[in-house]
Amino acid sequence: MMKILGAVLIIGASTLFGYYKASLYAARPRQIRQLIHALKRLATEIGYGSTPLPEALARLSSQCSRPLNRMFGTIADRLRTGSSDTAKDVWQESVRLFWGQTAMKSPERETMLELGSSLGISDRENQLKHIELAVTLLQHEEAAARDEQLKYEKLSRSLGVLGGALIVILIY
């Protein structure tokens, strides 16, 4: 009886791990797409609305889902408080702080960090060009993430189940 219970627990745990990994493969393209839409909204706020960066980021925060809303909200709050930190420092610190809560990887993080170094320090047209460049880079990463999802999502689920079964076979 204990052996059967142990086998069920091992297979269950490995299956859950496989499904967790598969969910990360599914979440990455979705989150990149959300980030692209957020940056396009930011470009609209800056370009057409002539909205100051803290206010644009606050509006963006209310339109995004977690964890991006928290990242943009934190940046907006810190820029509004008038701290001695530059927009670049606040942006980069917030991106690093909240990036672990996303399913995105380092290429997307690097794109966001580079974008942060140009926001708030240049004229409107230059900021819009940097946002457009970031959107283009993120679109390429989204395509790569979708390919990765197609390759590895189902594989992760299967390996979770089969890996657990293999462990059970090897133990017993």
pLDDT digits (tens, 9 = 90+) for 69-121: 999 999 999 888 876 778 889 999 999 999 999 999 999 999 999 998 888 77
Q: Assess contact for 35 and 57: CB atoms under 8 A.
A: no
Q: Could you give the dihedral angle defined by the CA atoms of residues 65, 70, 75 and 78, in that order, rounded to the nearest 10 degrees?
A: 140
Q: What is the pLDDT of residues 114-172, one digit of tens each?
A: 998 888 777 888 889 999 999 999 999 999 999 999 999 999 999 999 999 999 999 98
**pTM summary value:** 0.86
Write down the residue that tokens 């990360």 correspond to.
24
